[in-house]
Amino acid sequence: MDLEHRHSTRVDAVRACYNDDATDLLAVAGEHSVDVLLISDSDCQTLASFYIGPHTTALAWSPLTVSPTVSDNWHIQLAVADADFGLHLLTKSSQGDESIFPFGGGMTGHHGKVNDMTFCGGRGEDSSRYLATVSDDKMLMIWDLQPSVDPPSPEQSPDSEDRDDRPQPTAYVIAFPNPLTAIDSHPSTSKEFLVSDCCGSIFLTDWRSDPQEMDEDVWRHSSLLELVEPSALSDLTMGSSTRWSASVAWRRDTSDIIGAVYGSKFSIWDIGNLQGGKPLASGISFPEAGYRFRWCPTYPDYFAISAQTPVQGAIIHIHNTNYLQAQPTEFSLFQKPHFIQDFDFLGLRGIPRIAAAVGKKIYIFPIGVDG
């Protein structure tokens, strides 16, 4: 069944929760606030609402989140980035009100738009302790949300009476040569992140590498692997400096398969069989440039791509990795000048469903695959 949810303002970002205990939760970011929706087969209920102020540029669910449909002692936790480069940890539980913990502002954080964020992968305790953010300032920052020492803030004296009891997160910084557009983690590893930049490169980065065991240059670019999208490599060879809004994602059921969209093309890599770095498959997404690449978490053979321009209207393309040479299935929500501001697959089992943001509304619809 198709569902609609109307937000009070334009929706800038959506993110579904893939935790096993919270697959029916969806985060929706408007111009000033972030809402958490509880999704059922027939309804969308607002479970929490957090006022941020500036509009949100990135969202990430904490592995600590548990849905009310799973436990009476439910708990919500997610991280958000705002347009003023600040970061916030949002929490709400069955026994308390909404809570917002700001961090990463001023001199301690990013100095450019934060384009994406993710919690550390793996299944251990560290998966909720570390949060990674990437930005136009060319920095990957890994934030320790549970530091043992709280460093003094430059804007605050150590004996300030107004200081929050919770220690401010500390950040490990890894520099890259170009602005960074997307980051992803994987449930199978807590050591590596996938990072993409605006020039067509994808880095598999081991952020836990010990800087004392290698020289400084290697630490600053601690990448185990770098992939380059073929058309981007061609542009570099010709001296072109095209900047793309790139999106990269790990397939949930295996850490060997990577998908990305750069410009008008998508590419799929099998890092277990790279063959010189050549993609396993490539194809056209949107001629005017794709914007968002998402794998389906429940039917991992499927992935979806959207554009963020009104040239063709509000359209999402669904691809099947078993038939990559076939035309994608097209879901057209509205004609131009509408467009997909953001979208994500829901984590719910059964027929895969997509939540797409168009204007002030969220549209939730199945992609028509038999469960």
Helix (H, G, I), strand (E, B) or coil at 213: helix
CA dihedral 342, 38, 78, 164 (to 10 degrees): 130
pLDDT, mean of residues 179-186: 96
Residue 298 has pLDDT above 60, yes or no: yes
Residue 1 has pLDDT above 80, yes or no: no
Among residues of the chain, what percentage have pLDDT more than 90? Answer: 67
Each residue's pLDDT tens digit, 129-151: 999 999 999 999 999 999 986 55
**What is the value of pTM for the model shown?**
0.89
Residue 237 has pLDDT above 80, yes or no: no
Q: In this predicted structure, what is the pLDDT of residue 217?
A: 44
Kindly report which listed range (27-31, 155-159, 254-258, 296-300) carries the lowest average pLDDT score: 155-159
Q: In this predicted structure, what is the pLDDT of residue 163?
A: 43
Instruction: Report the candidate in 53, 55, 37 with the shortest Cα–Cα distance to residue 45.
Output: 37
d(CA 242, CA 249): 21
Q: In this predicted structure, what is the pLDDT of residue 123?
A: 83
To which residue do tokens 């334009």 refer? 10
Each residue's pLDDT tens digit, 87-131: 999 999 999 999 999 999 777 799 999 999 999 988 888 899 999
Q: In this predicted structure, what is the pLDDT of residue 289?
A: 83
Q: Are 206 and 214 in contact (CB under 8 A)?
A: no
Q: In this predicted structure, what is the pLDDT of residue 149?
A: 67
To which residue do tokens 């600053």 refer? 220
Distances in Å between the Cα of 197 and the Cα atoms of 114, 256, 321 are: 13, 20, 24
Burial class (CB in 10 A: 0-12, 13-18, 19+), 189: middle
d(CA 131, CA 62): 9
d(CA 191, CA 208): 6
Q: Which amino acid type is present at position 78? A: L
Q: Which residues contact 238 (CB under 8 A, 6 or more apart)?
A: none
Q: In this predicted structure, what is the pLDDT of residue 220?
A: 42
Instruction: Report the candidate in 334, 270, 260 with the shortest Cα–Cα distance to residue 291.
Output: 260
Each residue's pLDDT tens digit, 306-351: 988 888 899 999 999 999 888 999 999 999 899 999 999 999 999 9
Among residues of the chain, what percentage have pLDDT more than 70? Answer: 86
Phi and psi at residue 254, in whole multiples of 5°? -155, 140
Each residue's pLDDT tens digit, 18-56: 999 999 999 999 999 999 999 998 999 999 999 999 999
Q: In this predicted structure, what is the pLDDT of residue 235?
A: 56
Q: Are 89 and 145 in contact (CB under 8 A)?
A: yes
Q: In this predicted structure, what is the pLDDT of residue 317?
A: 95
Supply the DSSP string of 253-295, one letter for each residue. T-TTEEEEEETTEEEEEETTS-TTT--SEEEES-TT---EEEE
Q: Which residues contact 110 (CB under 8 A, 6 or more apart)?
A: 81, 85, 104, 133, 135, 137, 139, 141
pLDDT band, very low/low/confident/very high, at 223 (cuts 50, 70, 90): low
